[in-house]
Chain A
Amino acid sequence: MRNSTHPDKIQLIQALRTGRIPFQDHLKACENCRTLVGILKWSGAGVGPLAWEPSEAAVRRSKAIARIDQSRKPLKTLTGAIIFDSWKSQPALAVRQAPFGIERRIRFKLQQYTMEFVGIRQMTGWEFVARVYDGDAVTRQFVLQTGTRKLVVGSGDCFHWHSQQPPRRMRLLSKLLGIDLGSLQW
């Protein structure tokens, strides 16, 4: 590097990482480069990478701590009702030829709360998605318990899970309210 040119970013990073600054003479003469080196040192540019992003799943688990803890003892527990079950309804004309038992859609309701539930049978087991509404708006306040498993709302404000067996009982739990969704026959 010629003395008349400013160090570029690669030279700056190398210098800050190694602590060896080959452009000392230039720094003595150039106030701007001194300022820049000062800013970069101050911000820790020489100490290696500082920030790593955790995975979305890891952040979701940490976020769930409070909600899961609070859902242990809801103040009251009520029982919800099934208001729609695709396995007990006459399928729409367009899908009457579709193979039965591959997909099940259920809607549960209690007071202003509604849970939409979809189960899809696959080669490897069942995939489930559920979403809870408070009136017309999606709510994230509940934890969904299926068996011993407690799930928190994930992407798209939905509960997603996979299981070999479909759930026989489900409960929605929050700090204030537990909603027993009754038993399901599969």
Chain B
Amino acid sequence: MKPALTEIWQAVLRGDADAWEDLVSEYSTLVYSVARRHLSDSDAEDCAQQTWLALYKSRHRIKDAARIPTWLASTSYRRAMRILRKKYSVRRAEQNVPDRAGPLTPDEHYTYLRRQATLKRAVESLDKRCRTLLTELFFSQEETRYKELAKKLRIPRNSLGPTRQRCLKKLKKILEEYE
């Protein structure tokens, strides 16, 4: 079982370099993703590296481990904006959000990432039939053919609807428990 964030952070504060590596493994996608939403690949990597350095330097000021994910997301975002400002004008930097759905705050970014991980975990915890059905119907990149899916699940095609219904209920229940 993975150690909790509090334990990892306590170890980092004691100077445990392995714990620092665990922390980076856990949150490198978050830090990089927040930056990558606004920056090119190489700029986002620089930004992520700066963010990790900043956390390392400030580590003794952060007492509450629960704050770390949002601290990382906010710092990565602020540094990404700083990099953009250097490259373009401020106005352009604020407009330069590639996502048409509008900018996300670092907190929102982290919340959605966490929720997507929760959803993934919830789908994985379903029984095999439900997991296959929901993944094929809603989460896989490939086109779903109902006839093939029914064959794969070894159920009649007209049972897909009721099975889908039961699986969605199960998924919803698991998500409610997680939250």
Genuine A/B complex:
yes
Q: Which residues of A contact B (CB under 8 A)?
A: 6, 8-9, 12, 17, 19, 32, 35-36, 39-40, 42-44, 46-55, 58-59, 61-63, 65-67, 69-70, 140-141, 175
User: In the assembly, what is the distance between CA of A100 and CA of B138, in Å?
Assistant: 61
Name the B residues within 8 Å of A19 (CB-CB).
101
Tell me the minimal C-beta distance from B131 to chain A in angstroms: 15
Complex contact B168–A32 (CB within 8 A): yes
Name the B residues within 8 Å of A9 (CB-CB).
137-140, 144
B85 contacts A by Cβ under 8 Å: no
Can you sample 14 A-B contacts with CB below 8 Å?
A8-B144, A9-B137, A12-B138, A42-B115, A43-B119, A44-B115, A47-B108, A50-B33, A52-B44, A58-B32, A63-B20, A66-B15, A66-B56, A140-B18
User: In the assembly, what is the distance between CA of A66 and CA of B56, in Å?
Assistant: 7
The total of chain B residues at the interface (CB under 8 A) is 49
User: In the assembly, what is the distance between CA of A44 and CA of B169, in Å?
Assistant: 20
Name the B residues within 8 Å of A42 (CB-CB).
115, 175
Minimal Cβ-Cβ distance residue in A for B113: A50
Contact mask B50-74 → A, CB, 8 Å, 1/0?
0011001000000000000000000
Complex contact A50–B116 (CB within 8 A): yes
User: In the assembly, what is the distance between CA of A175 and CA of B138, in Å?
Assistant: 50
Tell me the minimal C-beta distance from A60 to chain B in angstroms: 9
Tell me the minimal C-beta distance from A66 to chain B in angstroms: 4
Complex contact B17–A66 (CB within 8 A): yes
Name the A residues within 8 Å of B100 (CB-CB).
17, 48
Query: A61 and B49 in contact (CB under 8 A), knowing A43-B119, A52-B33?
Result: yes
Contact of B21 among A17, A47, A58, A63 (CB under 8 A): A63
Name the A residues within 8 Å of B139 (CB-CB).
9
Closest 5 CB pairs of A and B: A44-B112, A66-B20, A48-B99, A54-B32, A52-B36
User: In the assembly, what is the distance between CA of A100 and CA of B2, in Å?
Assistant: 49
Complex contact A17–B101 (CB within 8 A): yes
Name the B residues within 8 Å of A47 (CB-CB).
99, 101-102, 104, 108, 112
Tell me the minimal C-beta distance from B64 to chain A in angstroms: 20
Complex contact A62–B28 (CB within 8 A): yes
Complex contact A54–B28 (CB within 8 A): yes
Name the A residues within 8 Å of B104 (CB-CB).
47
